[in-house]
């Protein structure tokens, strides 16, 4: 206990990656997985928790549209999140709305990622004129403000033909540009590596070079861009629905907020009606962003080294403090902490 050397070996139970020797080689697949940190755990819990809620909760709650004669009422035992002005169960609405928002986030995320992969990777691979044209196109889409454009497009589509897929396509078409630029930059650096050149020289077809040689190197970047696209899509759809321009028959977190705003939830002080949907979006977005930090560490190993370095520096500082204390006060209780 009094031996100041003890803290050198981390006690069992606070096990983390610092215990894993840095010299041990990792397999290729393992390199693509992020390291577990407390913040990543928080992010994963948020994302998984909300996804499970969105997928399973609609089966467990009652009909979200059922109208009761009790009117606007706060949280109670029967309705944990209270009821709306027409006596609808807010928790049930939240469950269905979360599912709707996740659905649109996923659809738009996939569509936008496909678009950005095409314009980013294919353009950069072909180079020259195609690259110039594609990168000009994505830069133009980048500077044209997205939501006003989406609003104008949705305004021209008649309400009856404004379905889930229309909104999804519109959001994807206006939201792919930023990731295409990132993917282009990454592809440009991969494109000139020797093994890509070798594969080209050996007569592989372009799609095979892209899919087999280039794409695997870009997977972490694509994953991080996909996560961004999902966040942007959920936020964008919520904004559209909030102003009444969302898909006509869907129920998402944005439509919930739309009804809350139009049902005078704010002047009536019905916080249980408008707080949960927005909080759900914010927490899900936060979870995804934190997961993205960890993906960034795979793309840019510098970041990871920096984190490990900081961690070591913190540990060293702690140890130094403890040693100093130990020397000043030779108390066994002190070094045991």
Is residue 47 a contact partner of residue 291, using CB atoms and an 8 Å limit?
A: yes
Tokens 């659905």 belong to residue = 103
User: Which residue in the set 19, 26, 208, 310 belongs to the binding site for another protein (CB under 8 A)?
Assistant: 310
314 touches another protein by CB under 8 A: yes
Nearest approach, Cβ of residue 228 and another protein (Å): 11
39 touches another protein by CB under 8 A: yes
Cβ contacts of 140 within 8 Å, gap of 6 or more: none
Q: What is the DSSP string of 107-164?
A: HHHHHHHHHHHIIIIIHHHH-HHHHHHHHHHHHHHHHS-HHHHHHHHHHHS-GGG--H
Q: Per DSSP, what are the bridge partners of residue 89? A: 83
283 touches another protein by CB under 8 A: yes
Nearest approach, Cβ of residue 313 and another protein (Å): 6
Nearest approach, Cβ of residue 57 and another protein (Å): 20
Q: Where are the beta strands (DSSP E) in the chain?
A: none
Q: Is 83 helix (H, G, I), strand (E, B) or coil?
A: strand
Choice between 63 and 132, CB closer to another protein: 132
Choice between 136 and 212, CB closer to another protein: 136
243 touches another protein by CB under 8 A: yes
Tokens 């803290």 belong to residue = 7
Q: Which helix (DSSP H) or strand (DSSP E) does residue 249 occupy?
A: none
- Could you tell me the CA-to-CA distances from 10 to 20, 25, 141, 151, 306 in Å, in that order? 11, 22, 52, 56, 20
Contact stretch for another protein (CB under 8 A) within 48-56, 67-75, 206-214, 275-283: 275-283
Is residue 238 a contact partner of residue 252, using CB atoms and an 8 Å limit?
A: yes
Is residue 139 a contact partner of residue 181, using CB atoms and an 8 Å limit?
A: yes
Q: Is 73 helix (H, G, I), strand (E, B) or coil?
A: strand
Nearest approach, Cβ of residue 37 and another protein (Å): 9
User: Which residue in the set 51, 261, 323, 334 belongs to the binding site for another protein (CB under 8 A)?
Assistant: 261
Choice between 180 and 210, CB closer to another protein: 180
User: What is the pattern of x (binds another protein, CB under 8 A) and - over residues 149-188?
Assistant: x-xxxxxxxx--x----------------x----------
Q: Is 77 exposed, middle or buried (0-12, 13-18, 19+ CB in 10 A)?
A: exposed
Contact stretch for another protein (CB under 8 A) within 48-56, 59-67, 111-119, 277-285: 277-285
Nearest approach, Cβ of residue 147 and another protein (Å): 3
Considering only residues 286 to 305 of the shown chain, the ones binding another protein according to CB under 8 A are 286, 288-290, 293, 302-303
48 touches another protein by CB under 8 A: no
Is residue 220 a contact partner of residue 303, using CB atoms and an 8 Å limit?
A: no
User: What is the pattern of x (binds another protein, CB under 8 A) and - over residues 218-237?
Assistant: -------------x---xx-
Is residue 4 a contact partner of residue 326, using CB atoms and an 8 Å limit?
A: yes
143 touches another protein by CB under 8 A: yes
Contact stretch for another protein (CB under 8 A) within 22-30, 143-151, 187-195, 215-223: 143-151
Distance of CA 227 to the CA centre of its chain: 4
User: Which residue in the set 124, 168, 238, 247 belongs to the binding site for another protein (CB under 8 A)?
Assistant: 238
Q: Which residues bind another protein (CB under 8 A)?
A: 39, 42-43, 136, 139-140, 142-149, 151-158, 161, 178, 231, 235-236, 238-239, 242-245, 257, 261, 266-267, 269, 271, 274-275, 277-278, 281-286, 288-290, 293, 302-303, 306, 310, 313-314
């Amino acid at each position: 206990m009094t031996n100041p050397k003890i803290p050198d070996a981390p006690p069992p139970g606070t096990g983390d990656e610092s215990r894993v020797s840095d010299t041990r080689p990792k397999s290729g697949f393992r390199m693509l997985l992020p390291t577990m940190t407390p913040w990543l755990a928080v992010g994963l819990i948020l994302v998984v928790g909300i996804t499970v809620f969105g997928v399973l909760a609609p089966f467990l709650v009652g009909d979200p549209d059922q109208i009761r004669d009790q009117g606007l009422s706060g949280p109670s035992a029967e309705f944990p999140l209270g009821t709306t002005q027409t006596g609808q169960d807010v928790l049930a609405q939240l469950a269905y709305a979360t599912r709707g928002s996740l659905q649109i986030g996923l659809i738009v995320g996939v569509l936008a990622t496909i678009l950005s992969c095409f314009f980013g990777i294919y353009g950069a691979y072909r180079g020259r004129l195609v690259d110039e044209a594609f990168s000009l196109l994505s830069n133009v889409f980048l500077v044209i403000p997205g939501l006003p454009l989406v609003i104008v497009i949705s305004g021209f589509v008649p309400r009856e033909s404004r379905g889930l897929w229309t909104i999804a396509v519109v959001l994807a078409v206006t939201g792919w540009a930023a990731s295409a630029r990132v993917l282009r930059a990454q592809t440009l650096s991969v494109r000139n590596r020797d093994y890509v050149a070798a594969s080209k020289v050996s007569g592989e077809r372009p799609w095979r070079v892209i899919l087999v040689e280039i794409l695997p190197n870009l997977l972490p970047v694509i994953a991080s861009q996909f996560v961004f696209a999902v966040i942007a899509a959920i936020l964008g759809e919520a904004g559209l629905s909030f102003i009444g321009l969302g898909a006509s028959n869907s129920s998402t977190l944005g439509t919930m907020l739309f009804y809350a705003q139009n049902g005078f939830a704010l002047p009536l002080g019905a916080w249980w009606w408008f707080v949960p949907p927005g909080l759900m979006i914010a927490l899900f977005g936060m979870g995804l962003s934190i997961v993205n930090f960890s993906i960034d560490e795979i793309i840019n190993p510098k970041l990871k080294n920096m984190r490990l370095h900081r961690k070591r520096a913190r540990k060293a500082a702690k140890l130094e403090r403890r040693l100093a204390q130990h020397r000043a006060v030779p108390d066994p209780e002190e070094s045991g902490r």
